[in-house]
Structure 1
Amino acid sequence: MTDAVLEIRGLDVDYGLGDDAVHAIRDVNLTLHRGEVLGLAGESGSGKSTLAYGLTRLLPPPGVVRGGEVLFHTDDGPVDVLRMTEAELRRFRWAETAIVFQGAMNSLNPVQRVSTQLTDVIRAHDPRSTGASRLARARELLSLVGIAADRLDSYPHQLSGGMRQRVMIGMALALEPKVVVMDEPTTALDVVVQRQILRQLVELRERLGFSVVFITHDLSLLVEFSDRIAIMYGGRIVEEASSAQLYREPKHPYSHGLLNSFPALRGPKRELTGIPGSPPDLRAMPSGCSFHPRCPHAMERCGVEVPVLGVPHDHVGPGRTVACWLHPVHDDGF
């Protein structure tokens, strides 16, 4: 996991135009490496889904990417997704980057059989393929996600929620993309099915070698299944670290609050503290650090200056950043 497959540089996303625009994503920088699971966590409204739709150019109106780059690394060099033509973008989607949407188990067409929906994806990108080869690939995809091939003739309502979710994951992998973006893929599923699907996803990642951007508000899932985790708050990245580092030693008070919002499965009992207050209104963001009105460690400086995301002084080596005045960072940021 050393080679970058996707780089997000200085991404800004707004909803609306002019003075009334809401700044939903502000100066986000992230790197996804080959074969890596990068978790993206934060409360509802922190900008996670907007980031996913912005980097894939699937933002619904009035969303607009105001600035930045999304560099996808191909064998011929990096390509900026934000500057692709419509034809280039059509070839890029599914073949290079696929997305499993929030509420994916309800994204299937209710009046089309599973086989039709799987083979349509293949036919759209490979019109020279035969019906027999597309059907064979559809069977292979169902087998890949643990569903019997005889379910190809089923309609979505004949499948359980977990099976529909697996079909969506199989569809995302149909053209063997290098990057799969998963936006809350286990929402509305019980915890047993969640774990089954995520374990299967990790096994597929190890077997096929694709990279995953995994978006959820459930930090406990990311700690278990991600290689690295980035924490979002108010449209910014406030901390990034390996899952083990973040779990053992969160630096940002917001990360600490998220980790103390769910019970530990092992060890002594502890009181759940949570985070007081509510996420900020993006139309009227607080001055300085956007988390300071809810932060138990807020200082006078926090309400005036926006902290810079960078490598903290007490960390040796790359791979860990934080944006908090409690942890001074190197002068060069990264």
Structure 2
Amino acid sequence: MRNLYVDYGTGDDAVTALRDVDLTLHRGEVLGLAGESGSGKSTLAYAVTRLLSPPGVITGGDVVYHQRDGDDLDILSLTPQQLRAFRWQELSIVFQGAMNSLNPVHTVHSQLTDVLQAHRPEMSKADRTARAEELLKLVGIATDRLGSFPHQLSGGMRQRVMIAMALALEPEIVIMDEPTTALDVVMQRQILRQLVRLREELGFSVIFITHDISLLVEFSDRIAIMYGGRIVEEAGAADIYRDSQHPYSDGLLHSFPALHGPRRELTGIPGSPPHLAAMPSGCAFHPRCPKAFDPCAAKVPVLAAPGGQGDRAVACWLHHTP
């Protein structure tokens, strides 16, 4: 993703939800995307997959998919027919509130095989059923549940059926938009461990979106932090946890208790996220930032490597010359 912009609405009433977003997903990695509600995480997922509902519109930038054969595919220029073939085949998504995304009047078998019938019409009915059974086994569900309706499954099982559906065509990229929000902590960990195992087994890449940075620290290779529609920090998960460079990242990390080591006071972040229709001048975080100084209110910081550290990037005047 390069210089990606997304607006809601048009003309003078347009609200910019994504601003100049630069982000790269590497093959086979788990990229975590964290931030408070309203920071632009889901908008980014829907922009990349071309699933933005009106009045959302992509107003600038590029989204390029590098195929295994070496060719580059511009996702934003695909026709509806090309986009239909691309989705689920190369890129799939597990939606926010995914355990309620299953059709309540169709069985698990019907919904899993529907994906296969649409994208693999050459498959026989028996082959589609065999693949559906294989998918359920993959996510740890007994195959006798194929005939069940969604209301006959627990929340965690419905969640895993959605993950199985996303993996049906063995895509290269899976975007997971807060898929475990409605589940208890134990079930969250079970599903995420299963996801990591599947990633190692099948080799796909994951964009994992959540407001819970503690989950990302544990399961991601890299983490990107969003605030006010921008990426404000990007680094390896261990680097973010041990040495976050942006005050907002530090605030998120101190908003949950540590399970090990000495007790620490939970500080949180004062104030509320900015209203996208009335963004602050300069750095969007400066009204809430405990380390803000003169340039913060006047100039928007550039996302760049601090002090020549090429493996991370931060948008903060504490690490760059104003």
TM range, smaller chain: over 0.9
- Which amino acid in 2 is paired with 1:48? K
Pairing partner for 1:125 from 107, 119, 122: 119
Moved over 3 A (4+): none
| Counterpart secondary structure, 2:25 | strand
> Could you tell me how far apart the structure 1 residues matched to 2:80 and 2:96 are?
24
- Which amino acid in 2 is paired with 1:124? A
RMSD, matched Cα = 0.9
| Counterpart secondary structure, 1:33 | coil
> Could you tell me how far apart the structure 1 residues matched to 2:311 and 2:196 are?
22
Pairing partner for 1:320 from 312, 315, 318: 312
| Counterpart secondary structure, 2:24 | strand
Q: C-alpha offsets along residues 227-283 of structure 1, whole Å, 9 cap, x if unaligned? A: 000000000000000000000000000000000000000001110000000000000
Q: C-alpha offsets along residues 168-195 of structure 1, whole Å, 9 cap, x if unaligned? A: 0000000000000000010110000000
- 1:49 alignment partner in structure 2: 42
- 2:74 alignment partner in structure 1: 80
| Counterpart secondary structure, 2:43 | helix
- 2:108 alignment partner in structure 1: 114
1:226 aligns with 2:220: yes
1:11 aligns with 2:4: yes
Measured after TM superposition, the shift of residue 79 of structure 1 is 0.6
- 1:70 alignment partner in structure 2: 63
> Could you tell me how far apart the structure 2 residues matched to 1:203 and 1:244 are?
20
Q: Matched residues, percent identical?
A: 72
- 2:272 alignment partner in structure 1: 278
How many residues are paired up? 321
> Could you tell me how far apart the structure 2 residues matched to 1:250 and 1:128 are?
51
| Counterpart secondary structure, 2:303 | coil
- Which amino acid in 2 is paired with 1:326? L
Pairing partner for 1:141 from 135, 151, 160: 135
Q: Name stretches of at least 5 consecutive residues in structure 1 with no aligned partner.
A: 1-7
> Could you tell me how far apart the structure 1 residues matched to 2:74 and 2:42 are?
20
Measured after TM superposition, the shift of residue 76 of structure 1 is 4.2
> Could you tell me how far apart the structure 2 residues matched to 1:283 and 1:298 are?
22
Measured after TM superposition, the shift of residue 319 of structure 1 is 2.2
| TM-score for both structures, normalised by structure 2 | 0.99
- 1:193 alignment partner in structure 2: 187
Q: C-alpha offsets along residues 195-221 of structure 1, whole Å, 9 cap, x if unaligned? A: 000000000000000000000000000
| TM-score for both structures, normalised by structure 1 | 0.95
> Could you tell me how far apart the structure 2 residues matched to 1:170 and 1:323 are?
37
1:60 aligns with 2:68: no
